[in-house]
Structure 1
Amino acid sequence: ALRGWFRFTRTPYGYSPSPWVLEQCAQHALRRGSIEFRLPSTVTYQPTTPANDFSDESVEKMVSSESSPGVSPELLNYMDDCLAMLGLTLVLIPNALRELCSAMVEYVRSILLDADLHLKDPKTITFEHKNFTANGVYYHSPYVIGWPPERLRAVKSVRLSTPVSYREALEFLGILHVVACWLLPPWIILRKNCLQSLLQQRLHEDNAGWDEAIDDDCYPLLEELMSSLQSRQLEQYNVFRRIICWAPLHIYCDASSYAYGYVVGQYYEDISVNLDKQQKKDLSAELASIHGDLAPRQDATGRLFIPLWFRQALFSRVGQLTAHINTKEVFAATSAIVGVISTVGSLHQARLEIYTDNATCLKVLRMWKPAPPGDSVVDAAQSLMQERFLRAVSSCVSEQHLRALRVHF
């Protein structure tokens, strides 16, 4: 193995582990007795648990083991790469690598099963030294992530042939899909979604072959998207990915004729309540390093809002496209609730605050009943559709989360 590198041979597809999750995997394997660790006696070890992220108190911890004959314990591994950002060092005995891979998968599998999710196709990820990548995510610090420079360079260097085939165009858009929902700016996401939907629609409507050229009116849109990826703004684009389990999550959702979206975040005033002066200073320094559309900003009340993630999607079904805007707002809000709960699961202990600009949507969410026909131009079909949305939410969201939900207008 190369010094400073470690490769997982099997992890869940599309799942980007944070340093804290990886650390928990190692501890999980250690408790199971299948992994041997050794820490140098001169090193202090500080667990990075969510409740103690900025603690100044270091905890010395020694885990001894016997080195295998002929094997040097100086080999670096993923724990070195994770903890190097915190100025810490950990040495893993090389003969435990296979057990660590298994423990990683089993630990993540148990987390996903708790959220009623399941593993999909395996995907290999690689951790580099210091600032490292994990499954398409680039970690600047334990909680600030961005698009990997090598992936950005790969996208910028793509040169499509002329004319462009459907296969080439959709393959290029597929590259963006890997981390799109988390890391790309909203204005690029919406362009990509619209263009991808248009190309797929033309492909099927025209019964075209995969290697046939795309329509002439689609090429300028593709060229415009590729040009926008050359923006220098993307080189500094990163996102804050630290969810405080005891602070409220705020969800802002909206819908238009063709699309819907929501952004999820927390307020600095909420997450800094239990921090001392030094911890607040450290947190402010992290927030100041974030650039792009999801950088922290002050809202109309003067409070600092920290976006965590967002989602934008197109209405794809005929029933959704032809629905009244009030029903589309209900769809956007219920999708946001389900999306947030499936992401944070039972780990988040505080209430959810959801904001909508539609009075009918507000009434539906507060009463958890569809708007009656005749109310705000809602007919029987719209009321039935809203009922289906609410039924879908109740099947995915626990009663505990529904009780903790507060709706604002």
Structure 2
Amino acid sequence: MSDRLKALADAGVSIWLDDLSRERIETGNLADLVKEKSVVGVTTNPTIFASAIAKGERYDEQVRALVNEGKSVDEVIFALTTEDVRNACDILAPVAEATKDDGRVSIEVEPDLANDTEKTIASAKALWAAVDRPNVLIKIPATLEGLPAITAAIAEGISVNVTLIFSVERYQAVMDAYLTGLEQAKAAGKDLSKIRSVASFFVSRVDTEIDKRLEAIGTPEATELRGKAAVANAIAAYAAFEEVHKSERWTALADEGANAQRPLWASTGVKNPDYPDTLYVTDLVVADTVNTMPEKTMEAFADHGEVKGDVVTGKGAEAAQVFDSLREVGVDVDDVFLVLETEGVDKFKASWTELVDTVVGQIEAVKQ
């Protein structure tokens, strides 16, 4: 057992692995991470699946069977990915039974649907039915079109991981979408205690985009602010989370058994080598949150990460000051978040193309 990761978990941070592969499942690696590294959840995306499928032969037999059945590329992808997520859900099931909110495995709706509400809802329903495990989370992007899809999925009793959140303003809209979905689920007679959700707030990309702009401005005041925006943005998000969960609206739902939609810190691998490689873990420790990490970041924290207690609660005003300072030196913060969301959706779609290309290659290989 890693003492540093255990200390992080003891501080109330749920450690989720941002990776999945059939190899991890079949070799027992995922089960070992649960046992030895305090891992209590898994997140996936098309790029992760593309890498897993391209690297080994563990998918060949299933691909061959699906091709022989005449399945299309999209149907092959659906079968391969839901199979892995279903099996990961089974590995994490004891964690889900032993804890209130953990033991979850996430799978994304088709990225090309990010700007189509109805098709996103249909994709979420299909994934939920195919995986058929209570501890799966369906990832829906926090685009404007995604917001009503989040509400609709929650209203159906589907547990959701809301992804691609960059700004506090959009995060507030996500929380509203979640609460509206719970209210609709309650009206439909659903058991609110069985519905789970996390809100994935992207971290490192905020520093990447804002640092680039600060360096272009080039003044001493601007360069002094490098590396501060991402953590401040996440802290501001947590303050918004606390505010909503003090409201009468939330209390009424909680009284009916509803679970809080926990903030999840995503994109926590450090992009700038000048920054500590555990920056977006160490500086975002607070209870009732999730930190989903690439294995490289997890191993770095296990080796030299520090837990300094709660470093988030009560720092909303300080976070706001960072953004006031960014605006004062000339950073157009609203444009930053617009660019990040646009790029995020583009990367979301590009990762799907990568997965399609990878599976097409596998299909061609098994036909030979």
Greater fraction of residues in strand: 1
TM-score of the two chains, using structure 2 as the length reference: 0.30
* Higher gyration radius (CA): 1
Greater fraction of residues in helix: 2
TM-score of the two chains, using structure 1 as the length reference: 0.28
Which protein has greater RCO, CA pairs closer than 8 Å, 6+ apart?
Answer: 2
